Structure 1
Amino acid sequence: MVHLSTPAKDTGVFSTEEVHPRRHRPSNLTRNRLPTQPLHAPPNVAAGFKQLHLSRAGPLRANLVGSDITKDSFTVTVETWGDGILYSATGTWIEHKAGARDCHFGQFDTAEVQPDARATPQEVEARISFPADVQRWKPHQRPPHVVCWLNRLDLAHEPGRNFRIAAHATRITDKGFTAHLDTWGNTRMAGAAMCWIAFPRGKKGVATGSFSTSDVRLWSKPRAENSGIVRFADVGQQFGVVPTVLVALNGFDIRGMRI
């Protein structure tokens, strides 16, 4: 997601290394207080993981939480639990004023869906309805954009299993969309969560898109670094100034421990 830079602090990045700078010393919980742009009321905040350094010697467990939101700041927490080992993590966050009618944030968690209501044990989905007061997304207009960021994951550690997860949205209309948290192959997902950000198509000064390793290489040829060029013109957007670019994870496919 991209939007024009402004003097106010309405986006940011938080790294656990700002609090615990040594990566080789894992920490179960890291917390910090972050400033936002001053507003008359506490804003809405969405956040997702941008980077994770987890040990595959245990389950892949990480949780990113924003809490205690006030008119000018909020608390960010990155944590793991049980046998999870987290060396470092980085999160991206964005806020908008409460009551904004042309943008909405939300959260979807697999815990909200009962096991017997799931599509399959590996595919968890639910229908999300936009708030009734979001009136700018009219039926005759194109459906809004929906951006999905992973902010919690719990993937089982077992010999021979890989770590795979994907957060995405389908069947987007002016009324809502279907949120997905899926895995595949031999991965076993104990739980996961994502934030979602919805805004109208054609919104001035805003563009969105995704980048995948499959855009630049074959799945069967993994490599440590994967990069590509994103051109804003390809998504029908031009900026008069250098924009802010926000990046967060919506999926990965990582090899686990071998048998």
Structure 2
Amino acid sequence: MRPTTNIYPARTYHKLSLDTGSFNTASFRPWHNPAQDNFGIIHFRAPSTSYDILLGINALDMADSTDLSLKCSLLSFADNSARLNLQSWGNTIQYSSGCSWLSVPADDPDFQSGRYYTIDHQQWSKPQVSTRIVFKRSYPSPPKVVVWLDTIHTDANTNCRAHVYPSDVATDGFTLHLDTWHDTKLHLAGATWVAHSSDRTDIHSGSFCTEDVKTTAHPQLENSARIAFNGANFSSSPRIFMALNKLDIGRQRNLRVSPVHASDVTNTGMTWHLNSWAETELFSAGASFVAYEK
């Protein structure tokens, strides 16, 4: 007698209805006219009232003699647009900045997201934070989780160092870390996270870092590498959301990160770019990404 085999049907998911884009202060003012409030409008392909809009820092240019403070804030919604602010405060001189946005259907049972701020849980003088995030809905197996920075405030007298990342991902949640190191004074940081089932073939998420191609001991302005969309089954080149999850920049020069971006995007992979310019000392930078079927 032939042995019987249990065949389980493949899980099915809601058709993805994500949207992404970016916003930069360079679109409405020159860098040499710094401003602490930078208001703008972003537009969506679908009505925003049924979506969660997630923001993440993707570029910055701040003066070397001031604190680095930057927050991506969503102010209001319309049917297919939203108003946001790239805001600095205190003595920060913000020459330019940029953010990426990702709109996520609020009723998608598989795609979950949230935000976390250190100020809600710990004093600024104790910057290393880890907290357990609990999903509203548990997954049948540990999902894929990515996190990125949407707020940062570091002291003017120390290097800008911050890193947000997940660990101990389980079916019901994960541990979110928001750290600094050495002598950096991290007054405030905020992170946004997303989670989705790890066996999806219409989405691929992950992270990359300049340390994939160089060491932190040697600052480097241009950094890139090719990564593959392993496990995905895209029928064409996917759309890509990217936002910074790590910064390590010297304070002796302006703090500059060019808009993180991808090139040569195909259905099997992409080349990421994490760059700076001029005399900036970019010891390290990292970013998270979400690639999804168009």
TM-score computed with the length of structure 1 as normaliser: 0.86
The secondary structure found in structure 1 opposite 2:224 is coil
Shift of 1:67: 2.7
Paired residues, number = 238
Shift of 1:42: 3.2
Percent of pairs identical after alignment? 28
Q: Specify the alignment match of 2:4 in structure 1.
A: none
Q: Specify the alignment match of 1:3 in structure 2.
A: none
* Structure 2 unaligned spans of 5+: 1-15, 254-294
**RMSD value, Cα:** 2.0
Cα distance change of structure 1 residues 126 and 40 upon mapping to structure 2, 3 Å threshold: closer
Q: Specify the alignment match of 2:215 in structure 1.
A: 218
Encode CA deviations 1:113-155: one digit per residue, 9 max, x unaligned: 133xx9x923112211111xx35x11xx2x1111111111000
Encode CA deviations 1:82-140: one digit per residue, 9 max, x unaligned: 1011111111111122221110121000011133xx9x923112211111xx35x11xx
State yes or no: 1:207 paired with 2:212. no
Residue correspondence of structure 1 range 3-152 to structure 2 within 5 A:
10-20=19-29, 22-39=30-47, 41-115=49-123, 121-131=126-136, 134-135=137-138, 137-138=139-140, 141=141, 143-152=142-151
Shift of 1:11: 0.9
TM-score computed with the length of structure 2 as normaliser: 0.76
* Partner AA of 1:147 in structure 2: V
Q: Matches of 2:149 and 2:24 in 1, distance apart? A: 16
* Structure showing greater Rg: 2
* Partner AA of 1:122 in structure 2: P
Q: Matches of 1:41 and 1:165 in 2, distance apart? A: 33
* Partner AA of 1:183 in structure 2: T
4+ runs of 1 displaced by more than 3 Å? 39-42
Q: Specify the alignment match of 1:256 in structure 2.
A: 251
CA contact (8 A) 2:128 2:179 kept: yes
CA contact (8 A) 1:166 1:183 kept: yes
Q: Matches of 2:178 and 2:21 in 1, distance apart? A: 25
Cα distance change of structure 1 residues 24 and 174 upon mapping to structure 2, 3 Å threshold: same
CA contact (8 A) 1:47 1:91 kept: yes
Shift of 1:9: 7.6
* Partner AA of 2:92 in structure 1: G
Q: Specify the alignment match of 1:153 in structure 2.
A: 152
The secondary structure found in structure 2 opposite 1:218 is coil
CA contact (8 A) 2:201 2:234 kept: no
Q: Which of the pair has the greater relative contact order for Cα pairs under 8 Å at 6+ separation?
A: 1
